[in-house]
Amino acid sequence: MNAIVVTGTGTEVGKTIVTAAIAALARAAGKSVAVVKLAQTGIEPGDESDVDVVSRLSGVDDIHELVRYPEPLAPATAARRAGVDAVPVVALTARVRELADRDLVVVEGAGGLLVHLDDDGGTVADVARDLDAPVVVVAAAGLGTLNAIALTAEALDRRGVRCLGVVIGSWPAAPDLAMKTNLDDIADYANAPLLGRPPAGAAGLDPDEFRETARRHLAPALGGAWTYSPDAEIRSDREETAAPT
């Protein structure tokens, strides 16, 4: 099946925005797209879930939240505290395979790559390996991210899972020195290309603006038109205004 797995170097790095951006561009290209959230935790009544955000921004309505647990914890931990059995990774993977007739299935993980999804220690990396799907790693922009990217990429490599590339999940309007120099170094640390840097505040855009933002800030491998070049980044920093928050 044609699937991409989106994982993060940790929580709150922008996985859902990147998932929505990939889905929006695939939909705009005329593809049939499904989006899967493997496990959602910690959503209060009335809050938007990750799949709600993806649907609102991308316009994709073929969305699937496979598991939900009440507390904002690792899925296996949240299931245990809720007094239920965590859904095994093999069952999650089987659910994703049911969508194999779509042109693209975008699978969003929960937390980082090796967070336990079930009581046997199954992870997002196991899902990607079972699906034979490449992984997009979403990372923070600032100081410390290179080490987290390298560890995630190494874990994928040890498991025989291809890292498609890295996306900075939220690029600030006024990046600092570490953020700017990280753009030069990410490919070496990940042994995979830098595939984009959506701007901070993208979650507040309307669907048309979001799709255009995705096109401008994701690489062709993900359906966009962005290519990293240091000179272009300098011009972009001067020309762009901050996205709405």
Query: Which pLDDT belongs to residue 242?
Result: 42
Instruction: Provide the token pair at 79.
Output: 């299931």
Per residue in 96-113, pLDDT (tens digit) is: 999 999 999 999 999 999
pLDDT score of 243 more than 50:
no
Q: Taken in order 198, 224, 152, 148, is the CA torsion positive or negative?
A: negative
Instruction: Provide the token pair at 41.
Output: 């935790």
Query: Which pLDDT belongs to residue 229?
Result: 81
In the chain, the domains with their CATH numbers are: 3-239 (3.40.50.300)
pLDDT score of 245 more than 80:
no
Query: Which pLDDT belongs to residue 241?
Result: 44
Per residue in 76-88, pLDDT (tens digit) is: 999 999 999 999 9
What residues contact 138, with CB distance under 8 A and at least 6 apart? 6, 7, 8, 9, 13, 14, 15, 18, 166, 167, 168, 169
Which residues are the active-site residues? 37
Per residue in 133-164, pLDDT (tens digit) is: 999 999 999 999 999 999 999 999 999 999 99
**What's the chain's average pLDDT?**
94
Query: Which pLDDT belongs to residue 244?
Result: 45
